[in-house]
Amino acid sequence: MANPEITQVECDILILGGGMSGCGAAFEAKYWAPDLKVVMVEKSAVERSGAVAQGLSAINLYMGLRYNDPSYSKTPEEFVRYVRNDMMGIARDDLLYDIARHVDTSVHMFEEWGLPIWKRPDGKYTREGPWQVMINGESYKPIVAEAAKTALGEGNLYERVAITNLIMDAEEENRVAGAIGFSTRENRIYVFKAKVVYMGAGGATAIFRPRSTGEGMGRTWFTVFNTGSGYAMMLEAGAEATQMEHRFVPTRFKDGYGPVGAWFLLFKSGATNAKGEDYLKTREAELQKFLPYGEAKPTPTPLRNHQMLLELLDGNGPIYMRTEEAIAKLAAGEGPERLKELESEAWEDFLDMTISQAMVWAAQNIEPDKAPSEIYPTEPYIMGSHSGCSGMWVSGPEDLAPPGYHWGYNRMTTVKGLFTAGDGAGASPHKFSSGSFTEGRLAAKAMVAFVRDNPNTTKLNGGAEELGQAVYKPLTNFEKGRGASTRPDVNPNYLLPNQALRRLQKLMDEYVAGTSTWYKTSETMLNRGLQLLEMFKEDLENLGAADLHGLLRCWELKHRTAVAEAHLRHIMFRQETRWPGYYYRTDYPQLDDTNWRCFVNSRVDPKTKKWDVFKKEYLQIVPD
C-alpha cells in the first residue's frame, strides 16, 4: 500500500479521542461556542470506544450535593481528603476539588439522556458505596456518544482515524497546531489543523505481560485498545508529565477480571484467605509500617493489595471473595424473591461491564450464592482516572490553584493550546467515567476561552506529504523487506507488531516490577531494563505492517513504548516505596515522606529527545 490520499481538515477546536472525556469536551465546547468548528477524531467508533465501550455497572463518582444531607451527600473537601489518602499523601487538591464541585451535573444529564440509574424508595440514587451509584449501564457509552455526536453536528466526526502524532506550530515555539493520523479502512492520511487541541486518548494497557495466556491472550482488565497514545504524543510534543511512576494494580475476580467494588461495597462481602481468615484483619499490623496513610479510612487501595500479596506469597492463597456468605447475610429473614433479586444483581454487575467474568462463573460451575470466587491482583495499568494517577501536569482552575499550579487556562498542559483531562490529566485520580466526562467539559470551556483570546490560525510545522511518509513507514518497511522470506512472520528485514509487543511486555514484566517478580524492582534491575529498552527502541524503526490493521498495531506499540519508558524512568527517580501493593523498590523499601512527599514530573526535550525527571512540590489546599 503506497501513495495514500491526503485529506486536510481545518477547525477551531480539535478533539482527539471520543471517550468519556472527549465526549464531555465536544458537548461543552458546542454549548459555549456554537459558532466554532469543533472536530472530533476517534480511532474506532465513538458509540463503543474506550474504557466504557463494554458498559459499566456503576458510576463511581457522584457527590449528591443537591441534597446537602450528611448521611448521603459528600463534600468536595471530603473527596480531596479521600483521594489524597488513597494516593498515600500526594494528589492535586485543586484539580480534584474542581471535579467534585461539578460532577453531579454530568450525572444528572446522563439520566436525562436515558441512562437508567438505580433508585431507592426515597427517590435518591442507590449508592454502591460512599461515592458510587449503581446503574444499568450496558448502554452507557452509546448514550453519552449520542449527546456528543449531536453537539458536533454532521461532518465533524472522523471515526476509524488513528492519530499518530501531534503537529507543532511552525512559527511559535511550544505551541501545538494540529495532528496527523491515518484511516484504518482506506489508503488515506489525515492532517488536522486547529487553534487548540484536546487530547483524550485514554490510559495505557498491555504495557506489561498480562496474566492471561494462550486462548485468553488479550483478555485484560482495561480495554486493550487504550494504548497510552495520548501520553506518548503529549510527551513527544514536550508537555510535562506527572506521576508516571504511579500505576494501578486492580484486585479483580480471577481470570475474567470482574470488578470487586459492588461486592465489597454494595453486597458488603468479605474476602478471606484459603484458611477462611480475614486477611485485612490478620494483616492489620502491616499498615502501621506506612503511617499516617496506613490509618486512613478506607485503607488505601495499594495497602489493601499489599495485605493480599503477603498472603499469596506466604502460600495462603487462593484468596476468596465470600459471595456466598454475603448473599446469605443479605437474604437472611427474607423470602425467596429477595434471593432471586440478589442473584440477578450479582450477575448483572458482570454482564453490564465484564461479561467474561460471567462466562468464568458459567464455565467453572460457580453459583455465587453457593460458592466463593477467587480474586487476584492483576498486571499493572498506567492511567489517571481510576485508582491510578499518571498523566500530564495541567494548569488548575484560577480560583483554586496555588501559584505554580496555574498558568492560564484550566486543564491546559505546559504546551500552549494543548489540553487534556480524564486519563490524560495526572495527579487527580478517582474521577472515573463521570469525573472524566466532567473534566473534559471543564477543559472545553477553557478551550473556548483560549480560542476567543487567540483567534489567529496556526501554521503546521511540516508538509503533509513528508509527515505522511513517516506515518506509513511500517507499511513501506514491510513492502520493501517481504521478498526475503516466504513466511511473513519470519523475516530478517522487519519486526511485526505482535512480536515486538511481546518483547516489550516481557521486558517490563521482568525488570520494571511486573507480576513475575511480584511487583518488585530495584535500581540495578531498572538500569538493565533501560538498556534493553534503548535497544528495543532502535528496532522499532524496523517495524513492519502488512496492512492497515498492522499499521495501527505498530503505532499503538510505539506509543506504548514511550509510556513504558516514562514509567521506568519515573520509578527509577523516586527512591522510596510509596505504594506497596502497586510496586516495591527493594532497595528503598520504606515510604519516605521527608524526601518524597512530592510529585515526580518529567519532560522530554522535543529537539534533543533528552529526558529531564524532577521533583515538583506538593501544595496542600484542603486541610487534613
Q: Residues interacting with ligand AMP, by CB under 6 A?
A: 60, 129, 131-132, 250, 259-261, 264-265, 298, 304, 387
* Whether 128 is catalytic: yes
Residue tagged active-site, from 28, 86, 128, 423 = 128
Find the shortest distance in angstroms from Cβ 181 to ligand SFD: 6
- The rounded distance, in Å, linking the Cα atoms of 125 and 110 is 13
Close Cβ partners of 381 (under 8 Å, ≥ 6 residues apart): 203, 204, 205, 207, 220, 221, 222, 247, 248, 249, 250, 388
Q: Does 255 participate in catalysis according to the annotation?
A: no
Check binding of 133 to ligand SFD (CB under 6 A). Answer: no
* Residue 434 among the catalytic residues: no
221 flagged as catalytic:
yes
Please give the grid coordinates belonging to residue 586: 527493594
Per DSSP, the chain holds a count of helices (H) and strands (E) of: 18, 21
Which range touches ligand SFD (CB under 6 A), out of 3-11, 35-43, 102-110, 489-497? Answer: 35-43
Quick one: which of 14, 16, 327, 600 contacts ligand SFD (CB under 6 A)?
Answer: 16
- From the list ligand SFD, ligand AMP, none, partner contacted by residue 20 (C-beta under 5 to 8 A by kind): ligand SFD
Subset of residues 193 to 212 that bind ligand SFD, contact rule: CB under 6 A = 200-202
Q: Give the integer Cα–Cα distance in Å for 194 and 176.
A: 8
CB of 386 to ligand AMP, least distance (A): 6
Rounded-to-5 percentages of helix, strand, coil across the chain: 40, 15, 40
Interacting partner of 202 out of ligand AMP, ligand SFD, none (Cβ under 5 to 8 A depending on kind): ligand SFD
Provide, rounded to whole angstroms, the least separation between the CB of residue 3 and ligand SFD: 23
Report the alpha-carbon distance of residue 582 to residue 90 in Å, rounded: 15
Q: Which residue is nearest to ligand SFD (CB)?
A: 19
Contact between 181 and 41 (Cβ < 8 Å):
yes
Q: Does 63 bind ligand SFD (CB under 6 A)?
A: no
Residue 318 lies near ligand SFD (rule: CB under 6 A):
no
Would you count residue 79 as binding ligand SFD (CB under 6 A)? no
- Burial of 538 from C-beta contacts in 10 A (0-12 / 13-18 / 19+): exposed
Range 464-478 burial, b when 16+ CB lie within 10 A, else e? beebbeebbbbbbbb
**3-state helix/strand/coil string of 492-529:** CCCECHHHHHHHHHHHHHHHCCCHHHCCEECHHHHHHH
CB of 212 vs ligand AMP, minimal distance in Å: 18
Q: Is 372 in the site for ligand SFD (CB under 6 A)?
A: no
Give yes or no for residue 471 binding ligand SFD (CB under 6 A).
Answer: no
Q: Please identify which of the residues 247, 252, 567, 570 carries the catalytic annotation.
A: 252
Q: Is 386 a residue of the active site?
A: yes
Active site residue: 49, 60, 139, 436, which one? Answer: 60
Residues 6+ apart with CB under 8 A from 494: 474, 477, 478, 481, 542, 543, 544
- Angle separating helix axes 432-453 and 20-32, nearest 10 degrees: 40
Q: Please give the residue ranges that form the binding site for ligand SFD (CB under 6 A).
A: 16-22, 41-44, 49-52, 56-60, 162-163, 200-202, 221-223, 225-226, 229, 259, 261, 385-386, 422-424, 432-434, 436
Q: What positions carry a catalytic annotation?
A: 60, 128, 221, 252, 349, 386, 433
